[in-house]
Structure 1
C-alpha cells in the first residue's frame, strides 16, 4: 500500500495526470485491474495505462453505455475495471450505471474527468454541473471529489485497496492547485479540516478549495475567523464531522462547482436538517457555462473567485448579525 507522495508524482500539477499515474501504479501492483475508455484515452491520461498494459486496456469507442456494460461484465468475471470518460458524457450512461453496476453493487470504478467548468474551451455541452446529484442518488455508489493532484492519486490507490463496490471519481482537467498536505494519509469518508475557525464554516471540494482558502484571508482582514472543510467524500457523507462544524460555528456556507440542487449543498443541508439544523447557504454555479479562455474566467462570471466568495460570505454574516 502506497500512502505518501510517490516520486513519480513530484512536479505533477494537473489532477488528471495524477489519476493517470495512480492507474499505472495499480496496473503494476494488481493484475486484475483493467482500464476502459470511450475514445478519450489521451484526454483522460488512460493512454499511459494502454502503453504499459495493452492487454488490459480497451477503447470501446464513442459509446459510454457500452463501456459501462463492458465494465460490469468484467467485474462479474472477477476483474477490477476502471472506466474513464468525460464527466458530462458518462451521464448519458446513467441508466446502465444504475441497472448494470449500482443495482448489483459491482466493483466498478468510474473516472469522470473534465468535470465542472474545467473543460472551459468546449462550452456548456462539455461542462458537467449535474453529475454529483445524479451519482449521489444511486443507492450503492460512493462519490469522491479529490481536492488536488496529491489527494487524487492517494484516493484512487487507497480506495482500490479498501472499497469494494461502485465509486464515482469526479476529476477536473488542468486547474488544480495543491491545497492538501502531500505527505498526509487519505481517509475515505472523513471530512478534512484545512483551516480551523469559529465564526463560520466553509465546506467545499475539488479545485475551488484554492479560491476558498484565498477568500479566508480576506475574511480574516475583516475580523472573520472561517473554518474550511474539504468534503472530498460526498458519499458516504461524514455527518458527524459536519455536525461538529455546525455546533462550533452555527453557520455554514457550501461552495461548489456544480448546481446547488442535489450537489454538495444538498448533501450538507440534508444531513444537518436531521442532525443539528443551522443555516446553510450555497455559493454555486448560477447557470450553464459557455466557451471561455480559462476556467478562471468562468469562475469569475459565476462569482466563484476568492473576492466574490468573501464578499458573499460577509453579506451572509451581516444578515445573521442583524
Structure 2
C-alpha cells in the first residue's frame, strides 16, 4: 500500500480518531485495562466478531489467549455466545462496531442479554462520526436505540483515563453494559486517578453565561471551546455526562439552573440521545432554559475523511466556539 493510500485509509478508518489539542495519548486503553483485569479476575472472557484489531481487544487476546474467542462476522452470534458464557459464570466482554451491535444485534441485546440481566459488556467501536465509511459504519443513532432497552447501562467515555476507569467499573457492575469505544491513540484529558462512577455526571468547568452539557469525545472539545470563549468574555461551564443510562437527571437539572442558557454537545444525532435526555430532564424539573443542540442532523452522513466530516457537521472545537458565540 502506498503512503498516500495509507493516509487516505487512516482518515477514513478514524485511526487516532479522538486525539487532538496536542494532548498526551494512550494506545488501546480499553484493551490494556481489560488485559490487566484479566490477571485479577479469572472469569473474564473476551470475544469479537472478526474486529479484534479495530476494537483494541488484542492486548487481552495476547495476555489471555485461552479466554479469547473470535466468532467471525456474525454479530447476533457474538451476543448469543457471550450470553451463553455469562450463564456459565463468565463475565463476557464482546467487541464489534456500534452499528452492528445496535442495529443487527438489537433484539439479541434486548432479549438475550437485558431481559435476563446477563453479565455481558458490549464494547462498540466507531461511534458517531469517528469513521468516514458512511451510513453502513457510522453509529450515529446507537444511543437513541440502546437507551430504549430496559436494564441496559450505557456509557460514552471522553478520554483514555475514563475508558480505563469505566472498564473497571463495568466489570464491578453486575448486568449488561453498552460502552462506546474510542480506539487507537486516545487522548488523556482527565487527571490520573479519576474516579468513574456509573450514573454520575461530573462538572469539569465553572461558568455562568452558558452551560455545555456534553458526552463522549465532545466533552474534550467542550473544555477547549470554553477556554477559547472565555477570551471573548463569555463564561462557559462544562458538565460531562459519561453515563447515558442511568442518566444523572438531578445533576443535569441543577447545572442547567445555574447558567443562563444550555448547549448540548454529542457525537450523535440530535434526536433521541443526550439532547433529548436533557430536554426531558428540564421539562420534568420545571426548568425553563433555551437549549441549543450541537450534534449530527437526522440524516445519513456521507463517506469522507473524518476531519472533513467533523468540520462540515460542526463537531470541531472551532465550530462549537462559533456556534456558542453566535447565541451569546
Query: Fold match, TM over 0.5?
Result: yes
Partner of 1:165, secondary structure, is: coil
2:170 to 150, 159, 171: 159
What is the rounded CA distance, in whole Å, between the counterparts of 1:175 and 1:79 in structure 2? 29
Aligned to 1:238: 248
What is the rounded CA distance, in whole Å, between the counterparts of 1:138 and 1:12 in structure 2? 33
TM-score, scaled to structure 2: 0.88
RMSD of aligned residue pairs (Cα, Å): 1.6
Partner of 2:178, secondary structure, is: strand
Q: Name the count of aligned residue pairs.
A: 302
Contact 1:118 / 1:173 at 8 angstroms: preserved in 2? no
What is the rounded CA distance, in whole Å, between the counterparts of 1:250 and 1:103 in structure 2? 41
Deviation at 1:206?
1.6
Contact 2:121 / 2:170 at 8 angstroms: preserved in 1? no
What is the rounded CA distance, in whole Å, between the counterparts of 1:257 and 1:22 in structure 2? 24
Q: Where do 1:53-64 residues align within 5 Å?
A: 53-64=64-75
Aligned to 2:51: 40
What is the rounded CA distance, in whole Å, between the counterparts of 1:32 and 1:61 in structure 2? 22
Contact 1:179 / 1:209 at 8 angstroms: preserved in 2? no
CA deviations over 1:154-184 (Å, ceiling 9, x no partner): 11112312x1111111113347432211232
Contact 1:147 / 1:176 at 8 angstroms: preserved in 2? no
Aligned to 1:266: 276
Residue 110 (str. 1) matches residue 122 (str. 2): yes
What is the rounded CA distance, in whole Å, between the counterparts of 2:227 and 2:137 in structure 1? 33
Q: Where do 1:11-90 residues align within 5 Å?
A: 12-14=25-27, 17-90=28-101
Partner of 2:324, secondary structure, is: helix
Partner of 2:39, secondary structure, is: helix
Contact 2:134 / 2:304 at 8 angstroms: preserved in 1? yes
What is the rounded CA distance, in whole Å, between the counterparts of 2:290 and 2:313 in structure 1? 22
TM-score, scaled to structure 1: 0.89
Contact 2:98 / 2:126 at 8 angstroms: preserved in 1? yes
Q: Where do 1:301-316 residues align within 5 Å?
A: 301-316=312-327
Contact 2:25 / 2:188 at 8 angstroms: preserved in 1? no
Structure 1 unpaired stretches of 5+: 1-10, 318-322
Cα distance change on mapping 1:206 and 1:291 into 2, 3 Å = same
Residue 210 (str. 1) matches residue 225 (str. 2): no
Structure 2 unpaired stretches of 5+: 1-23
What is the rounded CA distance, in whole Å, between the counterparts of 1:142 and 1:250 in structure 2? 31
1:94 to 68, 83, 106: 106
Q: Where do 1:279-290 residues align within 5 Å?
A: 279-286=290-297, 287-290=299-302
What is the rounded CA distance, in whole Å, between the counterparts of 1:176 and 1:224 in structure 2? 29
Partner of 1:50, secondary structure, is: helix
Aligned to 1:223: 233
Partner of 2:187, secondary structure, is: coil
Partner of 2:301, secondary structure, is: coil
Residue 187 (str. 1) matches residue 197 (str. 2): yes
What is the rounded CA distance, in whole Å, between the counterparts of 1:202 and 1:243 in structure 2? 12
